[in-house]
Amino acid sequence: MDLEHTQVGIVGAGPAGLMLGHLLHLHGIDTVVIEDRSQDYVVDRVRAGVLEQGTVDLMRECGLGDRLAREGLRHDGIYIAFRGARHRIDMAALTGGRTITVYGQNEVVKDLIAARQATACATHWDVDDVAVSNPEAGGTAAGGPSISFTQAGRRRMLRCDFIAGCDGFHGVCRPSIPPSRRTFYERTYPFAWLGILAEAAPASEELVYSLHDRGFALFSMRSPTVTRLYLQCPPDDDIAAWSDDRIWSELKTRLRTADGWEPYEGAITQKSITPMRSFVADPMRDGRLFLAGDAAHIVPPTGAKGLNLAMADVWRLSQALAEFYRGGRTDALDAYSARGVRRTWLAQRFSWWMTSMLHRSESRNPFDHERQLAELDYLVSSQAAMTSLAENYVGTPLA
Ligand code: RFL
Ligand code: PHB
Give the Cα separation of 241 and 379 in Å (integer).
Answer: 35
Give the Cα separation of 93 and 390 in Å (integer).
Answer: 9
Q: Is 105 in the pocket of ligand 2 (CB under 6 A)?
A: no
Residue 171 sits at φ, ψ, to 5 deg, of -75, -175
Question: Cα–chain-centroid distance for residue 185?
Answer: 18
Residue nearest (by alpha carbon) to ligand 2 atom 4: 49
Dihedral angle computed from the Cα positions of residues 308, 312, 315 and 320, in that order, rounded to the nearest 10 degrees: -160
* Amino acid, res. 164: A
Q: Which of 294, 299, 316 to mutate to test the pocket of ligand 1 (most atoms within 8 A of CB)?
A: 294
- Helix, strand or coil, per DSSP, at residue 260: coil
For residue 264, the 8-state DSSP code is P
Residue nearest (by alpha carbon) to ligand 2 atom 1: 49
Quick count: other Cβ atoms within 10 Å of Cβ 114? 11
Q: Is 208 in the pocket of ligand 2 (CB under 6 A)?
A: no
For residue 105, the 8-state DSSP code is H
Rounded alpha-carbon distances, angstroms, from residue 274 to 169, 238, 348: 13, 11, 18
The answer to whether residues 268 and 239 touch, using CB atoms and an 8 Å cutoff, is no
Give the Cα separation of 287 and 193 in Å (integer).
Answer: 37
Topology agreement, domain 2-75+99-185+277-353 and domain 189-276+360-393: no
Q: Is 34 in the pocket of ligand 1 (CB under 6 A)?
A: yes
Rounded alpha-carbon distances, angstroms, from residue 6 to 3, 71, 157, 334: 10, 35, 11, 21
Residues of the chain with pLDDT below 50 are: 139-141
Q: How many residues does the chain have?
A: 399
Burial of residue 208, with CB atoms counted within 10 A of its CB: 0-12 exposed, 13-18 middle, 19 or more buried: buried
Q: What atom in ligand 1 is closest to the CA of residue 167? A: 7
Give the Cα separation of 148 and 251 in Å (integer).
Answer: 46
Give the Cα separation of 40 and 21 in Å (integer).
Answer: 19
Q: Is 277 in the pocket of ligand 1 (CB under 6 A)?
A: no
Question: 310: closest CA among 349, 343, 275?
Answer: 343
Q: Is 301 in the pocket of ligand 2 (CB under 6 A)?
A: yes
- What would the CATH number be for the domain defined by 2-75+99-185+277-353? 3.50.50.60
**Domain 189-276+360-393: which topology?**
D-Amino Acid Oxidase; Chain A, domain 2 (3.30.9)
Residue 97: beta bridge partners? none
Q: What atom in ligand 2 is closest to the CA of residue 220? A: 2
Question: 22: closest CA among 124, 119, 161?
Answer: 119
Give the Cα separation of 145 and 143 in Å (integer).
Answer: 7
Give the Cα separation of 181 and 285 in Å (integer).
Answer: 10
- With a CB cutoff of 8 Å and minimum separation 6, the contacts of 259 are 85, 86
Give the Cα separation of 222 and 317 in Å (integer).
Answer: 29
Please state the domain extents for the chain: 2-75+99-185+277-353, 189-276+360-393
Give pLDDT, residue 140: 45
Question: Helix, strand, coil: what percent of the chain each, to 5?
Answer: 40, 30, 30
- What one-character-per-residue DSSP string does 38-79 give? -HHHHHH-----EE-HHHHHHHHHTT--HHHHHH-EEESEEE
The answer to whether residues 307 and 108 touch, using CB atoms and an 8 Å cutoff, is yes
Query: For residue 283, is the peptide bond before it cis, meaning its omega torsion is within 30 degrees of 0?
Result: yes
